Structure 1
Amino acid sequence: MFSHEHSKEHATDVNYMPPLFEAIPLGIQHVLAMFVANVTPPLIIANAIDAPPEMTVFLVQAAMFVAGLATLVQTLGLGPVGAKVPIVMGTSFSFVPVLIPIAQNSGLPAAMGACFAGGLAMALVGYFIRHVRFLFPPVVTGTFVLLTGIILLPVGFAYAGGGFGAADFGDARHLWLAFLVLVVTLGVNQFFKGFMSEMGILAGIIVGYLVALPMGLISFSGVAQADWAALPRPFAIGLEFVPVAIISVVVMSLVTTAESIGDIAGTVIGGANREPTSKELSGGVMADGLCSSFAAIFNAFPQISFSQNVGLVALTGVASRYVVAIGGAFLVFAGLFPKVGAIVTTIPSAVLGGAVIIMFGMIASAGIKMLSLVDLNKRNMVVAGVSIAVALGLKAQPDLYAGASEGVRAMLDSGLIAGAVVAIVLNLVLPGRERELHDEVVPSQPAE
C-alpha cells in the first residue's frame, strides 16, 4: 500500500511514480504473484514431449525473459502498442491444450511457427477491436474459459502421478506429495488474509519442494551444468509453418482476445476506478499479439495479461504502471541467468501437480462465473452445451477421427479448438443474437 502521505488520487493514477523504496517491493510482489503460473506452461509442454533437461531449462529461461519484456511494452508502451496501464504479462495457459498435440505430432518448431502467426492475428484484432467484439459475447468467452480448465485437468492429474511417462507413475509418494501441496495451497489461500492469501500457490510449492528433498525426488545436476549468464538466442528452436497448426493457434488467439479485454478492463476499473478507453483496449490487445509473435522468435509461448495480477492491483490499491514495469524489469533480469531457470526445473512433477490442479480448477470456475452472468435461455444453453459436448467428446474418443490426416488430427486432439469454433458459429447463426447483443451492457468510454 502507499504510505499515508500519498493521496488517493496518486494511488489511482496510472501515470504516478511512487518513491523507489515503495515501488520496488510492490513491483517484486507482482512477480511473485505470477512467477509460478508463468513458468508452468513451458514445464508442462516440455514434459509432454519428453524434452531433455537442457531444453526445459532453456524454455523456462525464455518464458521469464519474454514475459518481462512484454510487461514493459504493455506498461510503458511502444507507440500505439501497449495499454499503458498496470498489466502484468506472462505465458498463457489457454494455449497449452492446443500446443501439446502440435508439439507432439509436428514438433516444437511447428508450435513456435503457429504461435508467431497467432500473435499477428491477435494484433490485427486489437487494431480493429471495435469491429470484431461481436464475435465474443460472454456466452462464447465463458464457454471457452470453462473448456480450457476442464481440458487441462487431466494434465494436472498426470503431473500428480509423477509426470508423463514416469516409470513409477502413480506411486504413493507422488500422490501424497501432490496432496500435501494441494492442502497447503488451499489452507494459505482460504485462512490467510490480504497479500498472503494470494501467495497460496507459491507457499504450496515451497512446502512440497522442501518435503521432496529428503525423499530423493530432486536432482541438482542440471543446475550445476547450467551457465550463470546467457543472452537470449532468437530462432534457437526455429519457426516452421504447418497450416493446420497455424489454424489451431489462430483460432485460439482470436478467442483469447476476449480474455485480454476482460483483464484490461478489470485492471483499470479495479485500480483506476474508471472504464478503459478504446485506445487502451486496442493497444493492450495489440501488445498481447505482437509480444506473442516476438515470444515465438525468442523460443517462448504466447503472452497474455495475467488475471491474478488484476486482483493484486485492486488489493493493493496501487494503479501505477511504473510499479508493474519494475516487476517486468526484474523478470528480464531473471531471464538472463539460466541457473534461475534450472532451479525452477528441479521442482518435482508431483509438486507441480498439486498446484496446477487448483489452477486449472480455478480456470474452470472462472468460466462458470462468466456463464452465470449470461441469460441462460434456451439459445445460450444450446451454444454452451453443444460446444462442451463437441470439445469433450472429441477429446475422449480420438478414434472417431483416426482416419483423418495428421494435420487435422493435431487440430482436433485438444478438443478446445473444435469447441471454440462451434461456440462462435452457433452464436452467429442461432436466432436471438441481435437482441442479446442489444441487451448486453456496453461500458461507457470516457473521452480520449
Structure 2
Amino acid sequence: MEDKEDAIYQLKGDIPIRKAIPFGLQHVLAMFVANIAPILIVSGVVKMAPEETASLVQSAMIVAGVGSLLQMFPLWRFGSGLPIIMGISFTFVSVSCVIGTKYGYGAVLGAALIGGILEGLLGLGAAWWKKLVPPIVSASVVTAIGFSLLPIGANSFGGGFGAPDFGDAKYLMVGSVTLVSSLMFNIRAHSYYKQLSVLFGLIVGYITAYFYGMVDLTRLSGSDLVSFPTFIPVSLEFHPDAILSVFLIFLVSATETLGDTSALATMGFGRPPTGKEVSGAIAVDGFVSSISSLFGCLPITSFSQNVGLIAMTKVVNRKAVGCGAVIMILAGFFPVLGVILASLPDAVLGGCTLMMFGSIVVSGVRMLGDCGYSQRNMSIAALSLSIGLGFTQTPQIFHIFPDLFRSVFADNCVAVVFIVSMILNLVFPEDKEGPRIVE
C-alpha cells in the first residue's frame, strides 16, 4: 500500500537528493529522444551541417532544462509552480520545414522569437481569457492529448518512425520485455519504490536492446568532454508570413500547455489548475521559446509524456522532478552524457509509454465525468472529439483549405478539438436544470 504521506507525493516535500535523482532520471528518459528529434528532423530538411546540428541538440537540452526549472520554481509571474517538464515541441516541425525550405533556418528562428514573445504576453493575460475555457473544454482537450499520444507509443514500440524494418520481431520483443518488467516491478516493489517501475523497465529494456544490437554508442568516441552552447548561431530573419504562420502554431502550443496543466493539476493534486498556474505555464512556454530561438533551437512546450508519468506514479515532488531538469542541463554541457541518454532505443520507450499515455486518456475521461453528463456537455465532448480525432486521421479532408490552415490543423487533433469545443461552448445554451445523469 502506498504511503501518500511520504514527501515524494507532496509538491514541496523535503526529500534527500539520493531519493530525488532516480525519479528525475525517469522523467528525462521518458522524454529525451522526443526532445531532440524535432531538431534532427528540421536540420535535415534545411541541409544543416552535422556539427551545427550537434550544437543545436546540445542547446535544446539546456533550454528544456532551464524551462522546466522555471516552471517548477517560478520567478515573479513566470512559471506555474507545478512539476511540468518542458521540451522542444513537435508541433512546430511541419511549419518550420516549410519556412526553412523557403527562407532558410534563420527565418524559422526569427519567427519563433516574435511568436514566443506574443504567446508569453498571452499567458500573462490569462486572467482575462481563461473564463472562456470552461471545464468541459479543458476535459475534451486533455482527452484529445491522450488519444493523440497513443500512436506515438505504438510507433515507438514497433521500432520508431521511419524504421526500415518497422514491426520486426526484435522491436516487439524489446518493447514487450520493457513493458512486462515495468509491470512486474510495480507489482512486487513496496512503498514509493513502486513509482520507479518505469525507470526499472527502461534499464531492463536498454540491456535487452543492447544484446539485440540496437544500442548505438559510436558517437561517444567523437564527443567532447565539455561543451558550451552558441548564442545566435544563425542570423535571424523576419518575414511577416513566417511570423504569422508560427504565431498560429504558438496558439496551438498554448492550447496543449493549457491541457497539460489541467491534466497535471487534476491527476496530481485532484483539483483544477488555478488562473495563476495557467498564466505562468503559458508565459514560460512563450518567453522561454523566444530564448530558445536565440540559441538556435525550435520553440519548447510542456511534454505530455511526463504528464502521463505523473498520472501513473502520482509523484509530484518538484525537487524530484526538478532533478530531471538538472540532468538535462548537465547533458547539454557534457555531450558524453547526452549521447548515452540519446542512445535509448525507440522500442524501449514504446514499452514504457503505452501505460503512461493510456493514463492521460483515462484521466481525460474522468475529467469529462466530473463535468457532469448533461446533454450539453455530452454534445460538446462527443462532437469535438469526433471531429478532432476523426478529421485528423484523414487529413486529406483538409485539401481544399490554404497551406497555412492545413499546417495548423490537418495533423493536430488537439488544436481541432480545442477550437470546436470552444465554438460549441459559445453556441450551445447553458443548462438551466443542472447536469442530468444518464442511466
TM-score by length of 2: 0.78
Instruction: For residue 301 of structure 1, report the CA deviation from its aligned partner.
Output: 4.1
Indicate if the aligned counterparts of 1:23 and 1:323 stay in contact, CA closer than 8 A. Answer: no
Q: Tell me the equivalent position of 2:153.
A: 156
Is it true that 1:244 corresponds to 2:245 in the alignment?
yes
Alignment counterpart, residue 127 of structure 1, candidates 120, 124, 129: 124
Q: CA deviation at 1:422?
A: 0.7
Deviation at 1:232, TM superposition (A): 1.9
1:303–1:56 Cα change, 3 Å: same
Measure how far apart 1:204 and its partner are: 1.6
CA distance in 2, matches of 1:188, 1:116: 44
Distance 1:222 1:354, change over 3 A: same
Deviation at 1:8, TM superposition (A): 11
- Structure 2 unmatched runs, 5+: none
- The 3-state SS of whatever aligns with 2:202 is helix
Residues 72, 400 of structure 1: alpha-carbon distance in 2 compared, 3 angstrom cutoff: closer
The 3 A distance-change label for structure 1 pair 169 and 284 is: closer
Contact 1:71 1:328 in 2 (8 A): yes
Secondary structure of 1:373's counterpart equals helix
Q: Distance in 2 between matches of 1:190 and 1:111?
A: 47
**1:182 lines up with 2:175 in the alignment:** no
Q: Which residue of 1 aligns with 2:222?
A: 225
Deviations 1:273-302 (A, max 9, x none): x99876566445433432333334332542
Contact 1:122 1:286 in 2 (8 A): yes
Partner of 1:404, secondary structure, is coil
**1:4 alignment partner in structure 2:** none
SS in 2 for 1:91: strand
2:423 aligned residue (422, 425, 432) = 425
User: Matched residue of 1:411: which SS?
Assistant: helix
Give the partner amino acid of 2:152.
V
Instruction: Give the number of aligned pairs.
Output: 414
Partner in structure 2 of residue 101 of structure 1:
94
- Between the aligned residues of both structures, percent identity stands at 29
* Alignment map for 1:290-305 (pairs within 5 Å): 290-298=287-295, 299=297, 301-304=299-302
Which of 11, 18, 22 is equivalent to 1:25?
18
More displaced 10-residue stretch of structure 1: 274-283 or 391-400: 274-283
Change beyond 3 A, Cα 1:427–1:373? same
Secondary structure of the equivalent of 1:257? helix
What is the SS of the residue equivalent to 1:146?
helix
Q: Deviations 1:81-103 (Å, cap 9, x if unpaired)?
A: 335x46453227xx53x334335
Matched, 1:36 2:33: no
Asked whether the equivalents of residues 151 and 414 of structure 1 are also in contact (C-alpha less than 8 Å), the reply is no
Q: What residue number does 2:408 align with?
A: 411
3-state SS, counterpart of residue 371 of structure 2: coil
| Offset, 1:167 | 1.9
Please report how far the alpha carbon of residue 127 of structure 1 lies from its aligned counterpart in structure 2 after TM superposition.
2.1
Look up the match of 1:256: 257
**CA displacement 1:143-189 (0-9 Å, x = unmatched):** 11211221222222222222222221221111221122122223333
Correspondence 1:57-136 to 2 at 5 A: 61-83=58-80, 85=81, 87-91=83-87, 96=90, 98-103=91-96, 105-107=98-100, 109=105, 116=113, 119-136=116-133
C-alpha contact 1:67 1:328 (8 A) present in aligned 2: yes
Which residue does the alignment assign to 1:368? 365
Instruction: Report deviation, 1:58.
Output: 5.1
- Stretches of structure 1 that go unaligned for 5 or more consecutive residues are 1-6, 440-448
Is the 8 Å Cα contact of residues 116 and 299 (structure 2) preserved in structure 1?
A: no
- CA–CA distance in structure 2, aligned partners of residues 146 and 23 of structure 1: 35
Go from structure 1 to structure 2 and tell me whether the alpha carbon gap of 1:331 and 1:194 turns closer, same or farther (over 3 Å shift): farther
With over 3 angstroms needed to count, the CA separation of the structure-2 counterparts of 1:339 and 1:357, relative to structure 1, is same
What is the correspondence of 1:221-370 to structure 2 with a 5 Å cutoff? 221-236=218-233, 241-260=242-261, 263=264, 282-298=279-295, 299=297, 301-304=299-302, 307=307, 328-370=325-367
Aligned-partner SS, 1:78: coil
Secondary structure at the aligned position of 1:414 is classed as: coil
How far has the Cα of 1:263 moved from its partner? 3.9
Q: 1:30 to 1:172 in 2, by over 3 A?
A: closer
Relative to 1, partners in 2 of residues 1:208 and 1:107: Cα closer, same or farther, differing over 3 Å? Answer: farther
Give the superposition deviation at 1:207: 1.0
Query: Is contact 1:27–1:326 with CA below 8 Å preserved after alignment?
Result: yes
> 1:428, 1:332 → 2: CA distance?
43
2:26–2:196 contact (8 Å) kept in structure 1: yes
The residue aligned with 1:444 is none
The answer to whether the 8 Å contact 2:311/2:356 transfers is: no
Report the more deviating stretch, 373-382 or 42-51: 42-51
Once residues 320 and 177 of structure 2 are traced to their aligned partners in structure 1, the CA distance between those partners, rounded to angstroms, is: 34
- Secondary structure at the counterpart of residue 211 of structure 2: coil
